[in-house]
Structure 1
Amino acid sequence: MNLEFRHLLPEDFAPDSRVWIYQSNRRFFMSEALEMEPRIEEFCAQWRSHGAKVKAYGNLLFGQFLVLMADERAAGVSGCSTDSSVHFVQELGKQFNVDFFNRTHLAFVVKEKIETIPMAQLQPALTAGLITPDTLYFNNTVGTRQELETKWLVPVKESWLATRLKLYLP
């Protein structure tokens, strides 16, 4: 599975550009992704904060993660403009019958594909060997472009999960 995504990010966005990652509860079909992409582009083109255009980027990565990014050098993203992005994501969820807001399912790369595991099943998955300390984890808590590039896809042992799970490291 090709996990390279950095080349898809806009080069002219600052490292501290704000990032929001919305993980879908399932992978999108190609037809859905093709229908969704223009809607994401349209939202980003029209996104405003106190009337000022937000320099925005959006993309569906790995067919399951909606990533929105705002470079706040020109216009900061306020509470109302953040709310508008959340409403947009909620609308997409309704249209495609997916849940972008279930934070209890975490995504990992297992056997060359993305698998979501309920938080309550993480320790059993680790004990059974489904995930290991070296399994790649999608850390959707990243908040900036720089973190997206360096800390979004990390081994479990380097994530916040390491402190929550009993990792048996050699």
Structure 2
Amino acid sequence: MLVEFDSIPEDAKVWIYPSSRKFYANEIEEVERKVKNFVETWKAENEDFKASYKILYNRFIILTADDITTTLTSKDIDTSVVFIIELQQTYNVALLDKMNVCFKQGKFVQYKELKDFKKLLKNKAVTAKTIVFDNLITTKQEFENHWEVAIENSWYSRFLK
């Protein structure tokens, strides 16, 4: 069942799918509709199942599910991945590559391959204070508190040396 994002418990599962490009204005409404429809029908046979989503910066698709009251099976997770793959194909974007780096540059969100991001660090085009998005987090609590962080406070800090 689709519920408000804020009503999902802190320890609920979160999956973050960064898009290799910003969704265009003419795409975002359709993407939102498709994601909403997916969440509404995801495990619809189970009335206790609660899930939600957010689309942020016209680039990130965030899915969350309360896996405490209702167990998520491998099949449930596979269903969500199949949906994400369909979005990738429809919009010609990469959504499953978690090792690319998304970071803020002014008011814009940039998406770079890790090797290119390391070059930006080396050339001081980004600094320890640059905000990065940690798309490897797994809970809503981590999402709310550690998703947007300075490089120096993230796992990317290992590349500052």
Aligned twin of 1:6: none
Runs of 4+ aligned structure 1 residues displaced above 2 Å come to 51-54
Aligned twin of 2:39: 44
Letter in 1 for 2:11: D
- Aligned residue for 2:112, secondary structure, equals strand
Letter in 2 for 1:136: I
- Partners in 2 of 1:37 and 1:112 — Cα distance? 22
8 Å contact kept, 1:110–1:130:
no
Aligned twin of 2:80: 85
Q: How many Å apart are 1:85 and its aligned residue?
A: 0.3
Aligned-residue identity in percent: 28
Q: How many Å apart are 1:99 and its aligned residue?
A: 1.1
TM-score by length of 1: 0.86
- Aligned residue for 2:82, secondary structure, equals helix
- Partners in 1 of 2:84 and 2:38 — Cα distance? 10
Q: How many Å apart are 1:73 and its aligned residue?
A: 3.2
* Count of residues in Structure 1 that have an aligned counterpart in Structure 2: 157
Q: How many Å apart are 1:143 and its aligned residue?
A: 0.6
Which blocks of at least 5 consecutive residues in structure 2 are unaligned?
none
Q: How many Å apart are 1:27 and its aligned residue?
A: 0.2
Alignment match of 1:16 (pick from 1, 8, 11) = 11
TM-score by length of 2: 0.91
Alignment match of 1:61 (pick from 43, 49, 56) = 56
Aligned twin of 2:28: 33
After alignment, is 120-129 or 88-97 more displaced?
A: 120-129
Letter in 2 for 1:52: N
Letter in 2 for 1:59: K
Letter in 2 for 1:23: P
- Partners in 1 of 2:60 and 2:107 — Cα distance? 17
Aligned twin of 1:129: 124
- Partners in 2 of 1:42 and 1:147 — Cα distance? 25
